[in-house]
Amino acid sequence: MGFENMVVDELAEKASGRLKAVTLIQKRVRELERGWPALVPAEGRAFIAVALEEFRQGRISLAIGDEAEKLRASRVVEERERARQIESARRAETEAAMASRPSAGGLFGAPLPGGASPQTGPAGK
């Protein structure tokens, strides 16, 4: 069910206003883009279609006031933890790739001719 098939008045009525409906859908699309799990089947569907279906089914709502502040604070913590996990996984992959490379003494990993040792200081000194 695409946005063009949904009646704007229905959205506005469910969210208690057009601005609230648009804000809710827009924020949910951003969450989906950032990797938050979908609350309805999402295979091959655009984020906007998923957000609209979640809204239609009543699975998402717009928090305001103190409730919104509490949710925002907890989400910031969750986002930071997710970023740490992603960075840790990237580091582990990089370290594993570096560990599996054969070590060589030359520039760009090329072997040095005739058993020469790598130069450690400026040329001519």
The CA-atom distances, in angstroms, between 41 and each of 15, 38, 58, 91, 108 are: 22, 7, 14, 32, 48
CB 2 within 8 A of CB 56: no
Instruction: Please state the pTM of the whole predicted model.
Output: 0.50
Q: Distance between CA 37 and CA 50 in Å, rounded?
A: 11
pLDDT digits (tens, 9 = 90+) for 65-115: 787 778 777 777 788 888 889 899 999 999 888 887 765 554 555 666 665
Pick the CATH number of 1-62 from 3.90.940.10, 3.30.365.10, 2.60.40.10, 3.40.50.920: 3.90.940.10
| CA pair distance 105, 123, nearest whole angstrom | 17
6-33 tens-digit pLDDT: 566 777 777 777 888 888 889 899 989 9
pLDDT at 33: 93
- Whether residue 51 contacts residue 25, with contact meaning beta carbons closer than 8 Å, is answered with yes
| Closest by Cα among 41, 43, 6, 45 to 24 | 6
Strand boundaries in 9-62, DSSP class E: none
Six-digit token pair at 109? Answer: 């990993």
pLDDT at 125: 53
Kindly tell me if the per-residue pLDDT of 47 is higher than 90.
Answer: yes
Is residue 40 pLDDT above 90, yes or no?
A: yes
Query: What integer pLDDT is reported at residue 123 of this predicted model?
Result: 60
Neighbours of 28 (CB within 10 A): 23
